[in-house]
Amino acid sequence: MFIFEDIIDLKNHLKVEKQQYSIGFVPTMGALHQGHLSLIDRAKADNDVVVCSIFVNPTQFNNVEDLKNYPKTIKEDKKLLEAHHCDVLFLPDAHTMYPVPAKTSFSFGHLEQTMEGEHRAGHFNGVALVVSKLFHLIKPHRAYFGQKDLQQFIIIHQLVQDLLFDLEVVCCPIVREDDGLAMSSRNLRLTASQRPIASKLYEALMLARHSLLEGYGVSKTKQTIQNFFNDLSDLQLEYFEVVKSATLETVDSVSDTFQVSLCIAAFLGDVRLIDNVFLFDKKGIF
């Protein structure tokens, strides 16, 4: 595995690669887990060369403590990437990615005014900024993102369309622990006593999915989920939304004519967890 910290060296290497091979790209912030590795494996299956980036992007954090506490396991990350046959690791620092303070800003309209965008001001501007930089530097044929960050994927899909990036963005399924908890780097911050409680997030989603599929309706289902969390003292619900997957528009009723996503966020102590599930198993996002 080639490891680059410098932009020029990375671009020179990939310029040669791209003349002969297809490039798949997996952007990450490190603290890699099986969810990330599933993206590496998918990229490896679809492409000749796989590039992974590890960069904890400061511009997408609206909470200084969250940025400070974000897990960093670079030594272990390198071993995992090599074991999964990643070809190139781009490992920049903040000065490399932001040699001067960024002044460019992005607006995604209603796509960023709900759920994560509503509760994390400026988050998606930071995501769009760093992803644009990485796409520009790496010029991949395909880029891979996890469904766990569904809103992020929809926004990046819009970014690619708006800026005419010549690449395909691919959304890959959530990888879960045996008890249903979505794998996340932030799970490393959970204590031993908190860990089993965290799986209640997925339990709530399954409860909501069952309610909707049984015809109880969106309003009734939302009340059911609120009642579920009212009985949990440790897990504090931030939001639960039922949305059209492709547009993130909230819905008052569901229909099998479009894919529906159930999206949730909650705090367990000072650890913020998010998750989502599709309502219909055999229907894609778009």
- Give the chain's end-to-end CA distance (angstroms, integer): 35
Dihedral angle of Cα 219, 223, 226, 227, to the nearest 10 degrees: -170
Q: Identify the pLDDT of residue 19.
A: 87
Active-site choice (36, 84, 123, 157): 36
The pLDDT tens digits for 127-176 are 999 999 999 999 999 999 999 999 999 999 999 999 999 999 999 999 99
The pLDDT tens digits for 206-221 are 999 999 999 999 999 9
Which CATH number does the domain 185-278 belong to among 3.30.1300.10, 3.40.50.300, 3.20.20.70, 3.40.1280.10? 3.30.1300.10
Q: Residue 121's closest CA among 61, 65, 164, 53? A: 61
In CATH, the architecture of 2-172 is 3-Layer(aba) Sandwich (3.40)
147 is in an annotated binding site: yes
245 is in an annotated binding site: no
Measured at the CA of 211, the angle between CA 207 and CA 215, to 5 degrees, comes to 170
Distances, alpha carbon 1 to alpha carbons 79, 136, 154, in Å: 10, 22, 31
Q: Identify the pLDDT of residue 222.
A: 98
The pLDDT tens digits for 65-120 are 999 999 999 999 999 999 999 999 999 999 999 999 999 999 999 999 999 999 99
**Going along 139-222, which residue ranges are E strands?**
142-146, 168-172
d(CA 75, CA 84): 15
Question: Which residue type does 91 have?
Answer: L
Q: Residue 97's closest CA among 27, 37, 173? A: 27
| Maximum separation of any 2 CA atoms in the chain, in Å | 58
Q: Identify the pLDDT of residue 17.
A: 87
pLDDT, averaged across the chain: 97
Q: Identify the pLDDT of residue 83.
A: 98
Look at the pTM and tell me if it is higher than 0.95. Answer: yes
Distances, alpha carbon 114 to alpha carbons 110, 111, 225, 237, in Å: 7, 7, 18, 15
Q: Identify the pLDDT of residue 246.
A: 97
Q: Identify the pLDDT of residue 181.
A: 98
- Looking at the chain, the domain(s) classified CATH 3.30.1300.10 span 185-278
Instruction: Say whether pLDDT at 16 is over 90.
Output: no
Distances, alpha carbon 156 to alpha carbons 89, 113, 131, 144, 271, in Å: 21, 15, 8, 11, 25
Q: Residue 53's closest CA among 15, 91, 20, 19? A: 91
Instruction: Say whether pLDDT at 282 is over 90.
Output: no
Please give the average per-residue pLDDT across 37-53, as a whole number. 98
- Identify the burial level of 250 via C-beta atoms within 10 angstroms of its C-beta, where 0-12 means exposed, 13-18 middle and 19 or more buried: middle
226 is in an annotated binding site: no
Q: What percentage of the chain has pLDDT greater than the value 70?
A: 100
Instruction: Say whether pLDDT at 53 is over 90.
Output: yes
30 is in an annotated binding site: yes
Q: Is 119 a catalytic residue?
A: no
**Beta partners for residue 145, in sequence order:** 171
The pLDDT tens digits for 23-37 are 999 999 999 999 999
- Looking at the chain, the domain(s) classified CATH 3.40.50.620 span 2-172
Helices (H) and strands (E) in the chain, counts: 11, 9
pLDDT level of residue 278 (50, 70, 90 thresholds): very high
158 is in an annotated binding site: no
